[in-house]
């Protein structure tokens, strides 16, 4: 069913209220956009709290972020949304927020790459940290480049998070999942141990993802080889080296 412009604007406001109520943004932070055609996108305005959004505030922009309709002006961070749409034709919605715990991981210099919850392994995998960039410049869109094709969730160093989806609900759910995963990881760290899901179980989750035919991009999972194999290899190399040296010494 095709949604009317008003329904799309209303949905953007509802998601805006949710990210504000959940404490994923402060003051006027954060921005949301939805693609309606190759050259038409709805987005949130600059200078308005996501908790106070109303449909009449939503702006329409073209693929370069220029305003087509609306009283207010588009968010200064619209450039990173437009970069996502340019690089990922499968994406129809983008959410940017500053979820505090996931953002704190980037501030602490800790990667959010622990495989601790099956839901998060299935839907997002590890979340890359994109190099710090000055907001509103091309530095942030550029920082997404190395990861944009293989992920639906990104952390922005010392800044926040960006999530994408085939629709706005999906993009928002991924944002929630990123923060929830970071929260559980932080709690486990505070309790003193982070036990990750074992390799065999991770493989099963990846098979499940294939079977379920889940939408979006996923980086896959890096399954570490058994450590003993590496030791074995090192011992073998040392043994060969000893033998070769012995031969040369003769
Ligand atoms: Zn931001």
Domains of the chain with CATH codes: 5-191 (3.40.225.10)
Distance 145 CA to ligand 1 centre (A): 17
Helix (H) or strand (E) holding 10: helix 5-21
Structure-token pair, residue 39: 């050259």
- Work out the mean pLDDT of the chain and round it to a whole number: 92
Instruction: Choose, from 77, 131, 200, 235, the residue flagged as catalytic.
Output: 77
| Torsions phi, psi for 69 (to 5 deg) | -145, 150
| Torsions phi, psi for 129 (to 5 deg) | -100, 115
The per-residue pLDDT for 148 is: 96
CB count within 10 Å of CB 132 equals: 13
Distance of CA 109 to the CA centre of its chain: 16
Q: SS3 sequence, 46-64?
A: CCCCHHHCCHHHCEEECCC
The per-residue pLDDT for 69 is: 96
In this prediction, residues 93-109 reach a mean pLDDT of 98
Strands 129-130 and 153-156: parallel
Distance 40 CA to ligand 1 centre (A): 22
Contact 78, 156 (CB under 8 A): no
Sheet holding 31-37, edge to edge: 67-69, 59-61, 40-43, 31-37, 93-97, 160-165, 153-156, 129-130
pLDDT digits (tens, 9 = 90+) for 128-172: 999 999 988 999 999 999 999 999 999 999 999 999 999 999 999
Distance 97 CA to ligand 1 centre (A): 6
Distance 75 CA to ligand 1 centre (A): 10
pTM metric for this prediction? 0.88
112 closest CA partner among 147, 80, 141, 145: 147
Contact 127, 151 (CB under 8 A): yes
| Torsions phi, psi for 59 (to 5 deg) | -110, 150
With a cut of 70, say whether residue 237 has pLDDT above it. Answer: no
pLDDT digits (tens, 9 = 90+) for 184-211: 999 999 999 999 999 999 999 999 999 9
The yes-or-no answer on residue 179 being catalytic is no
The per-residue pLDDT for 236 is: 61
With a cut of 70, say whether residue 99 has pLDDT above it. Answer: yes
Distance 140 CA to ligand 1 centre (A): 10
Instruction: Please return the burial class of 30, using the count of CB atoms within 10 Å of its CB with bins 0-12, 13-18 and 19+.
Output: buried
């Amino acid at each position: 069913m095709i949604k009317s412009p008003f329904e799309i604007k209303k949905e953007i406001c509802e998601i805006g209220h949710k990210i504000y109520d959940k404490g994923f943004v402060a003051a006027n932070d954060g921005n949301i956009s939805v693609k309606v055609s190759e050259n038409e996108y709805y987005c949130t305005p600059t200078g308005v709290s996501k908790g106070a959004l109303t449909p009449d505030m939503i702006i329409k922009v073209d693929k370069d972020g220029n305003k087509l309709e609306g009283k207010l002006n588009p968010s200064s961070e619209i450039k990173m949304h437009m970069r996502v749409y340019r690089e990922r034709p499968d994406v129809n919605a983008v959410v940017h927020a500053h979820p505090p715990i996931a953002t704190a991981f980037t501030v602490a210099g800790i990667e959010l790459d622990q495989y601790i919850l099956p839901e998060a392994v299935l839907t997002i995998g590890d979340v890359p940290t994109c190099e710090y960039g000055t907001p509103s410049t091309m530095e942030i869109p550029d920082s997404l480049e190395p990861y944009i094709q293989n992920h639906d969730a990104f952390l922005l160093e010392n800044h926040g998070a960006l999530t994408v989806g085939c629709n706005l609900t999906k993009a928002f759910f991924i944002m929630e999942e990123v923060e929830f995963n970071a929260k559980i990881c932080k709690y486990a760290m505070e309790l003193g141990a982070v036990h990750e899901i074992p390799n065999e179980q991770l493989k099963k989750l990846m098979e499940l993802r294939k079977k379920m035919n889940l939408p979006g991009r996923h980086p896959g999972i890096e399954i570490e080889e058994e450590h003993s194999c590496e030791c074995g290899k090192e011992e073998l190399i040392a043994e060969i080296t000893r033998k070769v040296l012995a031969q040369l010494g003769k």
